[in-house]
């Protein structure tokens, strides 16, 4: 093997923290699927074209571009280009392969990929912490400016007006912080609700597919039963046809016994399928109710978030107005 080709054991170590790779291993994917032969032949020093990568992944160029565009937005792939054309190193190609395998699973789409990649709320916590620190520094800076201005004031009335403005601004900052914390809690809640909705939609897709198969089997059994009943209806004629076409085709001896067994067996199968369809229809109905209630909850939480966001806009406007009037 060329020294510039991939060594699988070293390559594995690069993906120990990769969420798509870990999801596939949890699903039970074997090494021969996780590391196909074409991956082992990739050159670690080379950049590959879109055409080469689409050939490796057996994917048309427009699909590849669609996936790459979205995966760059999700910050999973690096956006490397030469002019308008994408270029791919061995890491990017393998990531695309992992996503392709993940999307082959029943009911999976790019939203599931996005959810999986960003399931940690650490980034939100860091963002809130940075905002709080910035507000704290701004608060200290404003306090310093007001103290400086207070030192230049001549009358008690001017000092009282300034103190009043300081209290208003402090109240605005406090309210803004409290609202940001509420928004963060709502975002966490929405994340959990959306994740649950994805899971329920997956279950619904499986349920609908199963119902489709059951109803198809049920219709086939009804046709068989109808055929059996027609044979039963004309059995006297078939009996009389000693060397006729029907007798040779059906090879029935004695016909009455086979006719009875066929009708009884089909009736049982039809009833069993009916029962199974009823169970799946009830499951479908329960999933629909659960999804309806879940989306209502998502709607309520989203409305709450919008209300808190709007309040914060008003706080910021008040904050700016108070600064301008000082």
Check whether residue 129 and residue 19 sit in a common domain. no
Owning domain of residue 286? 122-324
Check whether residue 98 and residue 135 sit in a common domain. no
Check whether residue 294 and residue 309 sit in a common domain. yes
Cα angle: 55, vertex 32, 56; to 5 degrees: 5
Check whether residue 210 and residue 287 sit in a common domain. yes
Query: Are the C-beta atoms of 92 and 49 separated by less than 8 Å?
Result: no
Query: Are the C-beta atoms of 221 and 270 separated by less than 8 Å?
Result: yes
Q: Given 117, 148, 181, which residue is the final one in a domain?
A: 117
1 lies in some domain: no
| Cβ contacts of 319 within 8 Å, gap of 6 or more | 169, 172, 173, 176
Check whether residue 126 and residue 112 sit in a common domain. no
Check whether residue 163 and residue 288 sit in a common domain. yes
Lowest average pLDDT, out of 25-34, 106-115, 241-250, 258-267, goes to 241-250
> What CATH number is associated with residue 181?
1.20.1270
- Tell whether pTM > 0.85: no
Check whether residue 145 and residue 233 sit in a common domain. yes
Query: Are the C-beta atoms of 94 and 39 separated by less than 8 Å?
Result: yes
How many domains does the chain divide into?
2
Lowest average pLDDT, out of 204-208, 240-244, 261-265, 310-314, goes to 240-244
What are the pLDDT digits (tens) for 273-284? 889 999 999 999
What are the pLDDT digits (tens) for 183-231? 888 888 888 888 888 788 888 888 888 888 888 888 888 888 787 777 6
What is residue 107's predicted lDDT score, i.e. its pLDDT? 65
What are the pLDDT digits (tens) for 90-132? 889 999 999 999 988 766 788 888 877 875 445 545 555 655 6
Q: Given 117, 145, 170, which residue is the final one in a domain?
A: 117
Mean pLDDT, the chain, whole residue set: 76
3 lies in some domain: no
Check whether residue 18 and residue 91 sit in a common domain. yes
Q: Given 117, 133, 151, which residue is the final one in a domain?
A: 117
């Amino acid at each position: 093997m060329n020294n510039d080709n991939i060594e699988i054991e070293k390559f594995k170590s690069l993906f120990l923290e990769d969420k798509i790779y870990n999801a596939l291993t949890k699903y039970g994917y074997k090494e021969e699927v996780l590391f196909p032969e074409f991956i082992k032949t990739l050159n670690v020093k080379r950049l590959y074209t879109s055409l080469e990568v689409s050939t490796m992944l057996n994917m048309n160029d427009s699909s590849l571009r669609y996936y790459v565009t979205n995966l760059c937005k999700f910050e999973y792939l690096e956006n490397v280009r030469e002019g308008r054309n994408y270029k791919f190193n061995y890491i990017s190609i393998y990531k695309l392969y992992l996503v392709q395998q993940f999307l082959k699973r029943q009911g999976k789409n790019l939203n599931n990929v996005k959810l999986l990649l960003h399931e940690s709320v650490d980034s939100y916590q860091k963002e809130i912490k940075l905002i709080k620190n910035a507000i704290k520094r701004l608060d200290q800076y404003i306090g310093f400016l007001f103290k400086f201005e207070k030192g230049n004031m001549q009358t008690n009335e001017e000092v009282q007006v300034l103190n009043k403005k300081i209290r208003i601004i402090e109240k605005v900052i406090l309210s803004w912080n409290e609202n940001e914390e509420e928004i963060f809690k709502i975002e966490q809640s929405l994340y959990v609700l959306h994740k649950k909705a994805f899971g329920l939609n997956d279950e619904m897709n499986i349920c609908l597919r199963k119902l489709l198969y059951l109803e198809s089997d049920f219709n086939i059994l009804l046709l068989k039963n109808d055929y059996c009943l027609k044979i039963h209806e004309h059995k006297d004629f078939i009996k009389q046809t000693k060397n006729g076409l029907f007798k040779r085709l059906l090879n029935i001896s004695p016909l009455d016994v086979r006719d009875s067994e066929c009708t009884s067996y089909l009736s049982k199968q039809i009833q069993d399928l009916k029962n199974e369809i009823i169970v799946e229809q009830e499951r479908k109905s329960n999933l629909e109710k659960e999804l309806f209630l879940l989306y209502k909850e998502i709607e309520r939480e989203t409305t709450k978030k919008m209300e808190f966001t709007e309040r914060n806009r008003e706080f910021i406007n008040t904050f700016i107005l108070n600064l301008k009037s000082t």
